[in-house]
């Protein structure tokens, strides 16, 4: 949703899902959406969602996209097209809420958080380089919000408060991703990768909901059972005034909240300075 509103402000139509346009070159040339619900940086994140496509799967689909485009307009034109495109990436939250923070999954038991974040960053490093090798030069990476304040985490505290330790982990993740982005910009010729830090924007919305026209930010509009997932099911009871709630279910912001965040994100994105990139090698 955040991406959709920002795209509209840029004058871009909502991109269709990749799997609905795998061989339609005209559609592929205009851009597609590779996102998959429950997916993460790590391949085992969201494993219980069965058909989710991990970030590696999504990158492989982008590779297939480029192959189709190359076959239709030629390799040189395809390279130019991919170089000039802008890539929006928002990933990593599922690696926490649907992996590390789940007590019944192995990663939360196997790794300390320092070890886990090292695994995330080293994996993301290789993934971003893979995208670069496929032609991506302009990437906007959307940082994570305060996951310790989403309803599925608040219920773990005695008074329904934000989980400080989880938020500290997220700040550490964002900081490490930003360092990675800066490193890649200096290492890879013509790379223009941007880290969009939306953490303070989301936290302000949660801490000061009335400033933005909301009344409730500590629980969800949809009455969900956080013990079995926290998603809004067809038989779930929904609040009457959903525009007053920051959260729709135990994980996701409401449409109204996403609209506010997208406006803020667009302002952040449009005012972001151009990143320093590595010099282009002389021919």
- Residue 277's pLDDT band (boundaries 50, 70, 90)? very low
Distance, in Å, from the CA atom of 107 to the CA atom of 117, rounded to the nearest integer, reads 11
Looking at residue 279, its pLDDT comes to: 42
Strands (DSSP E) contained in the chain are 86-89, 138-142, 192-196, 216-220, 222-223, 237-238, 245-247
Domain map (residue ranges) of the chain: 1-208
Mean pLDDT, residues 259-268: 83
pTM to 2 decimal places: 0.90
pLDDT tens per residue across span 185-233: 999 999 999 999 999 999 999 999 999 999 999 999 998 866 556 788 8
Radius of gyration of the chain (CA): 19
Which residues does 149 contact at the CB level (< 8 Å), separation at least 6?
162, 163, 167, 203, 206
Computed over every residue of the chain, the mean pLDDT equals 89
Picking from 171, 124, 118, 121, the residue whose alpha carbon sits closest to that of residue 143 is: 171
**142 has pLDDT over 60:** yes
pLDDT tens per residue across span 47-80: 878 789 999 999 999 999 999 999 999 999 999 9
């Amino acid at each position: 949703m955040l991406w959709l509103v920002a795209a509209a402000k840029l004058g871009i139509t909502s991109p269709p899902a990749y799997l609905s346009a795998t061989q339609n070159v005209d559609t592929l040339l205009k851009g597609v959406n590779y996102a998959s619900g429950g997916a993460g940086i790590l391949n085992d994140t969201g494993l219980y969602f069965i058909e989710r496509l991990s970030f590696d799967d999504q990158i492989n689909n982008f590779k297939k996209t480029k192959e189709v485009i190359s076959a239709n307009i030629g390799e040189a034109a395809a390279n130019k097209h991919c170089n000039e495109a802008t890539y929006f990436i928002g990933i990593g939250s599922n690696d926490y809420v649907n992996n590390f923070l789940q007590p019944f999954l192995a990663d939360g038991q196997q790794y300390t958080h320092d070890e886990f974040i090292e695994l995330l960053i080293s994996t993301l490093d290789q993934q971003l380089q893979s995208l670069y090798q496929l032609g991506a030069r302009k990437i906007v990476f959307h940082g994570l919000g305060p996951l310790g304040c989403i309803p599925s985490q608040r219920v773990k505290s005695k008074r329904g408060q934000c989980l400080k330790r989880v938020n500290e982990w997220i700040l550490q993740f964002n900081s490490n991703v930003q360092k990675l982005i800066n490193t890649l910009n200096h290492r890879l010729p013509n790379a223009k990768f941007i880290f969009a830090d939306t953490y303070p924007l989301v936290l302000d919305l949660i801490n000061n909901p009335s400033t933005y026209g909301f009344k409730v930010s500590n629980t969800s509009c949809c009455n969900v059972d956080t013990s079995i997932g926290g998603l809004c099911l067809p038989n779930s009871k929904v609040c009457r005034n959903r525009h007053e709630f920051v959260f729709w279910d135990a994980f996701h912001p409401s449409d109204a909240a996403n609209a506010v965040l997208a406006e803020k994100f667009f302002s952040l994105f449009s005012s972001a300075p151009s990143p320093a990139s590595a010099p282009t090698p002389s021919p």
